[in-house]
Amino acid sequence: MKVEDFMERDVTAVFADETVEEFIHACVRQFRSGLPVVDDEMRVLGIITERDIIHEIVPSYMEMLHSTSFIPDTNITKKRLEEIKDKPIAEYMQKELDVLKTSDTLLSAATLVLKHGYRFLPVIDEEEHLAGIVTRSVILEALLS
Amino acid sequence: MGILTVTLNPALDRLIEIDNFKVGTMHRIFDEDKTKVSPGGKGINVSLYLEQLGVPSTALAILGGLTGRMLQVRLRRECNQTISTSFLYVNDETRENFTIVDRKSNTITTVNLPGPFVDEKHFKLFMKKYKALLSNTTICEIGGTIPAGMPLDVYKDMVRMAKEAGALTVVNAHGEPLKYAIESVPDIVKPDIRGTKKVLNRELKTIGDYVQSAKELLSMGVKMVIYSFEMKNDIVATSDWTYLFKMRGEIKSVNLMGTGDAYIAGLIYAINAGKDYFESARYAMAAAIADEMTESKDVGGIEEVEKMMSLIEMERVSQ
């Protein structure tokens, strides 16, 4: 089975000059954890995920703490988000990432997603335009069939 | 390179069958088969019909709220073979269109809800998405109503942009949006004259009025004009000819909803396959007839459409 046989044929994407705030709203409205980032001709530039934003706004020392219960409020995180919300997502997106082709196999897609822990990956056609996306659940569903 | 359909104001279509429907009374539906929910709006319908004809397309639409989410899921789950989707999400709810069919009394009652408000920020973002998708488009279909907040002349810009991108433009709209679309001279125009039979201030009553109106549009540079005439016939005109496409005999008509969109899909199918405008108009009418004979939005595939072509006869209209 090829990627084009089971991918989600959704080319909904964001542009690199859209703001972090717009990206967050887009994710909430679409029930998505991330979106492909495209140029003016629908060529994939990368992806941006909630995780990229959270990583940017949560202080790095938090990751080393076993508990954050003693931290009185979320002011630091909120302030940081306030600082970056109007910045373009180009500053926070993942540019170096694997991209699937419509002609790739289900096995190669599953391997790639499992190996790197991607929640989704963009799929490109022969002309390198965004053709759809593959999520973990789409791969699992394809494996079921 | 492919086909792009644009739906600014899509809808979730709910069809409910109620025998002896009466205003002011309560009707309970016990049979699930008596209700149907389907994604709708002109462009989305055209994409759905194109899928039945085996032609891939990309459907660009503005969605909002839970209704928009439901429309999206329905479209992706049920029709994910050849339709690609690109959505812009706004805050307000996507509209719902309710159709109550009463087969006993032979009536159809429709209630169409308003669509979402699209603010300037989302409008600009939509146009940017549209432009990006045009870079990979050969045929662009634009049609339907325009949601509140968007400028009424948006079709003028959209037709211009599609032409600049080298795409063939097909417009299926009515009233002011149609008037503005014509200003940018689309390649093919099918005015939607349901409700008001008036195009560019010309009243359409006799066949002569339709022909004159078509000639007016052709003189502006439009390549093909299509008018639905007396429900079941079409007047089709190019700079070389004008024909009345008529149905030979009678068919068992069970559905007239969406047939206009099936027509556009049949037309795009044929043009995409390299047929000339005359042959394409035959395919278009055949698709509309095929759709009319089924209860749901279904033309039954290209073989079924081609079978219907034998039911059409063409009569040259003197210019």
Of B85, B88, B132, the CB nearest to A38: B132
Of B85, B87, B133, the CB nearest to A9: B85
Q: What pLDDT is stored for residue B306 in this prediction?
A: 96
Question: Is residue A41 within 8 angstroms of chain B, CB to CB?
Answer: yes
Q: Which residues contact B304 (CB under 8 A, 6 or more apart)?
A: B290
Structure confidence by residue, pLDDT tens digits, B288-300? 999 988 877 889 9
Question: Is residue A4 within 8 angstroms of chain B, CB to CB?
Answer: no
Question: Is residue A36 within 8 angstroms of chain B, CB to CB?
Answer: no
Q: What pLDDT is stored for residue A64 in this prediction?
A: 65
Alpha carbon of residue A138 to chain centroid: 15
Asked whether the predicted pLDDT for residue B286 surpasses 70, the reply is yes
Mean residue pLDDT of chain A comes to 89
Contacts B135 to A, Cβ<8 Å: 40-42, 129
Structure confidence by residue, pLDDT tens digits, B12-55? 999 899 999 999 999 998 888 889 898 999 999 999 999 999 99
Q: Compute the distance between CA of residue B108 and CA of residue B17 in angstroms, rounded to an integer.
A: 9
Closest chain B residue to the Cα of A29, Cα to Cα: B89
- From A136's Cα to the closest Cα of chain B, the distance in A is 16
Taken in order of first residue, the domains within chain B and their CATH numbers are 10-20+34-115 (3.40.1190.30)
**In chain A, what percentage of residues exceed pLDDT 90?**
62
Of A9, A12, A18, the CB nearest to B87: A12
Query: How does residue B319 score in pLDDT terms, banded at 50, 70 and 90?
Result: low
Q: Compute the distance between CA of residue B169 and CA of residue A19 in angstroms, rounded to an integer.
A: 32
Closest chain B residue to the Cα of A129, Cα to Cα: B136
Scanning chain B, the segments in alpha helix (DSSP H) are 42-52, 65-78, 120-134, 154-164, 175-183, 207-220, 259-272, 277-292, 301-308
Q: Is B101 helix (H, G, I), strand (E, B) or coil?
A: strand
Q: Which of A3, A5, A7, A11 to mutate to test the interface with B (most CBs of B within 10 A)?
A: A11
Cα distances from B168 to residues A103, B86, B159, B171, in angstroms, run 29, 20, 9, 10
Contacts B125 to A, Cβ<8 Å: 18, 22
Question: Is residue A40 within 8 angstroms of chain B, CB to CB?
Answer: yes
Q: ipTM of the predicted structure?
A: 0.85
User: Which of these ranges, B139-153, B200-214, B273-287, has the smallest mean pLDDT?
Assistant: B200-214
CATH number among 3.40.50.300, 3.40.50.2000, 3.30.420.40, 3.10.580.10, domain A3-144: 3.10.580.10
Q: Compute the distance between CA of residue B26 and CA of residue B40 in angstroms, rounded to an integer.
A: 27
Of A29, A31, A42, the CB nearest to B136: A42
Question: Is residue A110 within 8 angstroms of chain B, CB to CB?
Answer: no
Q: Which candidate, A11, A94, A2, places its Cα nearest to that of A47? A: A94
Query: How does residue B219 score in pLDDT terms, banded at 50, 70 and 90?
Result: very high
Asked whether the predicted pLDDT for residue B78 surpasses 80, the reply is no
N residues, chain A: 145
Q: Is B119 helix (H, G, I), strand (E, B) or coil?
A: coil
Contacts A38 to B, Cβ<8 Å: 132
10 Å Cβ neighbour count for B250?
8
Q: Report residue A72: phi and psi, to 5°.
A: -60, -40
Q: What is the count of residue pairs from A and B with beta carbons less than 8 Å apart?
A: 54
Question: Which of the residue ranges A109-123, B129-143, B182-196, B248-262 has the most confident prediction, judged by mean pLDDT?
Answer: B129-143
